[in-house]
Structure 1
Amino acid sequence: MTKRYTILLTWFVNFNYTHYLTSGGNIPLLYCIIKYIKARSEAQKMNTTTFIPFSNAQIPTIPTTDGSKLLLTSLTTIAAKYNVDNFSPVTLSPHWSRLARLLLISFLSVIGSVGNVFMISSVMVEDHLKKAGNTFIVNVALADLLITSILMPCSTIVLLAGMEEPLSVCRVQWFFAACAFVITVLSLASTAIENYFRLCTPQDGNSWFNKSTTTTVILIIWSVGIIASGMQYSLNLSFDFCTRKSNGDFTYQATVIGLLLMLPLCFTFYTHMRIIRDVKRFTKTPNFRPSLNYTWDLSLARTNFYSFLIFIAFWLPFGIVLSYHTTADVANKVFYSTAWIGLSELQMDCALDLMRRLPPQQIEKNLIDLIDLVPGLCEDLLSSVDQPLKIAKDRESGKDYLLCDYNRDGDSYRSPWSNTYEPPLEDGSMPSERLRKLEIEANLAFDQYREMYYEGGVSSVYLWDLDHGFAGVILIKKAGDGSKKIKGCWDSIHVVEVQEKSSGRTAHYKLTSTTMLWLQTNKIGSGTMNLGGSLTRQVEQDASINESSPHIANIGRMVEDMENKIRSTLNEIYFGKTKDIGNGLRSIQSLDDQRQQVGMKMELAAALERRNVRGDN
């Protein structure tokens, strides 16, 4: 009797643990226990111990008198019957609704394809991006299109058909995924090398990355990616992603991972570190004056480095799980989920890419729409996307001030004029007494700066303490009054971080400036035209601190220089390019004026011809 209850208790504890950790609660636990006890009483009459199925389907009885064998048989049958670990590499978890999986994969496919097309279009349209070396960036986008336009639509088709995914579909998807991964890794390495040659070597002669060399390298990259993935697909030389089986060919696996993965990734990271070190060394030389093209190239190299880090962050979980799987078993849910995280790495990049191209006056609406589509990106988008500044009025002084995340605490905003929160907040964050004095002086100084440059608008300065210095934000907003049939708004957000050196005589300044501009003209000749966009630039420098050059003067000079560069960029590139496109697409003059000009030209040509004929006679 004691042995029988010991077996029952052992089975109950183990099944309870397995039930809630693997089956997700799909099997009614109480029903299983009742049916088990009931069958045990019947089996007692036969002097045997019988395994009872957990559904109405009949399973042959298994006579045994060993409790451990009973437990093992029970758990094995449960796992086989209910597929507690049947996470699909093609259609994700079957416990999710088919509609949810269909919408998720379709959204990733659409947003990824649109983002990659935008990336390719930017390189083709922007003049300062039309360089042979930037073709590697296009190559990364083309590799990603293999994922978003082939791999993900295959999963969508399987879900729409409602069929059990065949093994061939999974292997085709794995072929394209592996091919895109290898091509992306090699392209990122080539991009880093090209950026280093462009930024850190003399540009007197011809660039090594010319059209012919770049084309050859890209063809080699695609050949290596297709051959390596094709050998795995056809000969099954390495780990099988779909069946999660390996043939144990360690030499081939180590060679492929070392040459096509670890070596390019390490070399890419090392090259970017060299770029950062050498650029800092160049900029500190007294006679170094960076050109506008050099600034653009440096910004592009920084963006490429961030993309490389994002690529590593998204694929690192799958790499860890894959490495761990060689020595231990990993659940299908964990294994395939980490792979899909890597395949969806461009989701955040595409969202930011779309926000940069949508009208600034509709940023709030577009941001809400994106968050509704992808709620998981809410925190990242809110912290990464700058929104247009709003204006409030200080009750004590009657002056206007600007609202942003930097002067917000909860639902209250601090005024730089009265240093109070509206609505009132008792424990709101405040700057130190020393920093508050500097904040008052900075607000007065930039108020004069705004009046001289913008002839109107609103400005605000907010400062806060750091461990080794302080930081602040300078906000400027100028909205058009609609006169001269022109509407628009200019928003400048300058975030500065100041680190004072131990000597107290110098400080390191890091300025990140974002400008959002939109214009709308309504004239008879050109009709209604909308133009808008945002631009972000960053600069760092060391400067001395003394009575003639305090913090406010140093920060003011950096902000003034940065705004002049941004205005020049907007005027020469964005406005100029838009003007060229507009003139090429349509004529500003009316058809009657054009006919008159054509007639006048013909009359002048005829008169000159008659005059020449008379002169010859």
Structure 2
Amino acid sequence: MLLLVSTLAALGTLGNIFAIAAVMTEDHLKKKGNVLVVNMMLAGLVVSAGVLPTWVVALLAGWASPTPVCCASWLLTTLAAHCSLLTLPALAWENSARVAGRSMGVVLLAAMVGISWVSAGAITISQWVTGIGPKHCNHQPPAHPAVHTAFTSAVGVMLVAAPLVIALSVHAHTLLAGRGGPRRPLPATMKPPQALTRDLALTGTNLIVTAVVGGCWAAGVAADWWASVSFRYGVAWLPVAAATASGFLYAAHKPFREAYIQLFHYCCCKTSVSLSRRGRGGEAAAAAAAAVAAAARPASDVRVHIIPGYNMYTTASTREHRPPTHTHVKAPRSKDSRRPKHHHKKDVYEL
């Protein structure tokens, strides 16, 4: 179990970070609207980098269930679930506007991101303050079953099921209308066909992510309200699956996949070291040699210069008491100076 949780935490964190880095580095993904994709990845990082390490601590400490970190971990899980579910309709709306040739402003996108986190925080805190939130860490039945059922039903329908259904419907409508389906066509777009094709491909990928990840988030939150005690341990893995798989599902989109490959090569495979020493031919020759080497060297290589360092075997006292030498005064040569000197000390270099 420790190996499984550690692997899921590492894979989930790596996938979410790669997805965020792909949006920041890939030219086709540098769109304002993709900040909503980054927001979903941040919600996944809350679980993969915040919740799963607490599970590792509980396993290493040998705590019995419910563990002392159970409430904190499920508080973060509920926060990430509501934030991700509230981001899905905004992402679907942005994709629909992008395919139709309209672009959302930065202020509107920032408001969407802020509202998703503020609303998720308010919902999560209200659930845990009132004591009618998810009961994963509390095996006792609710004190007021009628109030608990009414609250969970309202929250489950309005804030869990409704955002998921709206996001799936908008994504499906965008794909059908953008590809000339039987639905009402969207307004005419001025985009070239290649850009429109990429936007539709990203919309299809977002539809897959919404169905899989959103379904896991919704099932993990809703089933924990109404499931029996023995079934809650299986339900606890659904948010973990959502946080782990969200970054890797975007590999179905070609720009994301190419960015992942480039990032993997940059981090793991294509890091080479070139060792060089500057010659004594003057600054012009050194600059020319550096220009030729830079032109011949691939862009992904890392060049390391090894320069002569400080001679640690020469103390400050010997340097201070050394007689001064002048370039215009020629020192007399003695018999010892005519003999070849053998230096047994190695050169000292600094990397």
* Coarse TM-score class (shorter-chain normalised): 0.5 to 0.7
Following the alignment from structure 2 to structure 1, what is the Cα–Cα distance between the partners of residues 294 and 214?
52
Following the alignment from structure 1 to structure 2, what is the Cα–Cα distance between the partners of residues 145 and 151?
9
- Quote the offset at 1:231 in angstroms: 1.4
Structure 1 residue runs of 5 or longer lacking an equivalent are: 1-100, 367-522, 530-578, 587-617
- Quote the offset at 1:251 in angstroms: 3.0
Aligned partner of 1:309 in structure 2 is 211
Q: Is the 8 A contact 1:133 1:194 kept in 2?
A: yes
Aligned partner of 1:259 in structure 2 is 158
Aligned partner of 1:297 in structure 2 is 199
- Quote the offset at 1:288 in angstroms: 9.0
Aligned partner of 2:137 in structure 1 is 242
Following the alignment from structure 2 to structure 1, what is the Cα–Cα distance between the partners of residues 26 and 205?
16
Aligned partner of 1:281 in structure 2 is 180
Following the alignment from structure 1 to structure 2, what is the Cα–Cα distance between the partners of residues 224 and 319?
16
C-alpha spacing 1:265/1:166, structure 2 compared with 1 (3 Å):
closer
Q: Is the 8 A contact 2:214 2:242 kept in 1?
A: no
Relative CO higher for 1 or 2, CA cutoff 8 Å, sep ≥ 6?
2
Identity %: 24
Give the residue type in structure 1 aligned to 2:96: Y
Larger Rg: 1
Give the residue type in structure 2 aligned to 1:262: A
Q: Deviation digits for residues 220-253 of structure 1, max 9, x if unmatched?
A: 1100101111112222134422114334213322
SS class of match (2:180):
helix
SS class of match (2:236):
helix
C-alpha spacing 1:341/1:217, structure 2 compared with 1 (3 Å):
closer
**What TM-score, normalized by structure 2, do the two folds share?**
0.65
Residue 38 (structure 2) aligned to one of 134, 138, 157:
138
Aligned partner of 1:195 in structure 2 is 95
Q: Deviation digits for residues 109-141 of structure 1, max 9, x if unmatched?
A: 111011111111111112332222111100000
Q: How many residues align?
A: 265
Matched, 1:158 2:53: no
Matched, 1:108 2:8: yes
C-alpha spacing 1:316/1:133, structure 2 compared with 1 (3 Å):
closer
1:75-474 equivalences under 5 Å are 101-164=1-64, 167-200=67-100, 202-203=101-102, 207=103, 209-244=104-139, 245-246=141-142, 247-248=144-145, 249=147, 250-281=149-180, 290-315=192-217, 318=220, 321-322=223-224, 325=227, 330=228, 332=230, 334-348=231-245, 350=247, 353=251, 357-358=260-261
Aligned partner of 1:411 in structure 2 is none
Q: Deviation digits for residues 337-384 of structure 1, max 9, x if unmatched?
A: 12213322354555565986347xx9xxx9xxxxxxxxxxxxxxxxxx
Q: Is the 8 A contact 1:109 1:149 kept in 2?
A: yes
C-alpha spacing 1:224/1:111, structure 2 compared with 1 (3 Å):
same
Q: Is the 8 A contact 1:158 1:165 kept in 2?
A: no
Give the residue type in structure 2 aligned to 1:299: A
Following the alignment from structure 1 to structure 2, what is the Cα–Cα distance between the partners of residues 525 and 323?
61
C-alpha spacing 1:262/1:320, structure 2 compared with 1 (3 Å):
closer
Identify, as 1 or 2, the structure richer in helix.
Answer: 2
Provide the aligned C-alpha RMSD in A.
Answer: 3.6
Following the alignment from structure 1 to structure 2, what is the Cα–Cα distance between the partners of residues 349 and 252?
29
Following the alignment from structure 1 to structure 2, what is the Cα–Cα distance between the partners of residues 225 and 316?
14
Following the alignment from structure 1 to structure 2, what is the Cα–Cα distance between the partners of residues 189 and 261?
11
Give the residue type in structure 1 aligned to 2:207: F
Give the residue type in structure 1 aligned to 2:239: G
C-alpha spacing 1:216/1:172, structure 2 compared with 1 (3 Å):
same
Give the residue type in structure 2 aligned to 1:305: L
Q: Is the 8 A contact 1:318 1:335 kept in 2?
A: no
Q: Deviation digits for residues 397-455 of structure 1, max 9, x if unmatched?
A: xxxxxxxxxxxxxxxxxxxxxxxxxxxxxxxxxxxxxxxxxxxxxxxxxxxxxxxxxxx
Following the alignment from structure 1 to structure 2, what is the Cα–Cα distance between the partners of residues 253 and 331?
17
**What TM-score, normalized by structure 1, do the two folds share?**
0.39
Identify, as 1 or 2, the structure richer in strand.
Answer: 1
Q: Is the 8 A contact 1:318 1:342 kept in 2?
A: yes
C-alpha spacing 1:238/1:166, structure 2 compared with 1 (3 Å):
closer
Q: Is the 8 A contact 1:171 1:233 kept in 2?
A: no
Following the alignment from structure 2 to structure 1, what is the Cα–Cα distance between the partners of residues 195 and 225?
43
C-alpha spacing 1:355/1:110, structure 2 compared with 1 (3 Å):
farther
Give the residue type in structure 1 aligned to 2:60: L
C-alpha spacing 1:355/1:124, structure 2 compared with 1 (3 Å):
closer
Following the alignment from structure 2 to structure 1, what is the Cα–Cα distance between the partners of residues 218 and 161?
12
Following the alignment from structure 2 to structure 1, what is the Cα–Cα distance between the partners of residues 179 and 248?
31
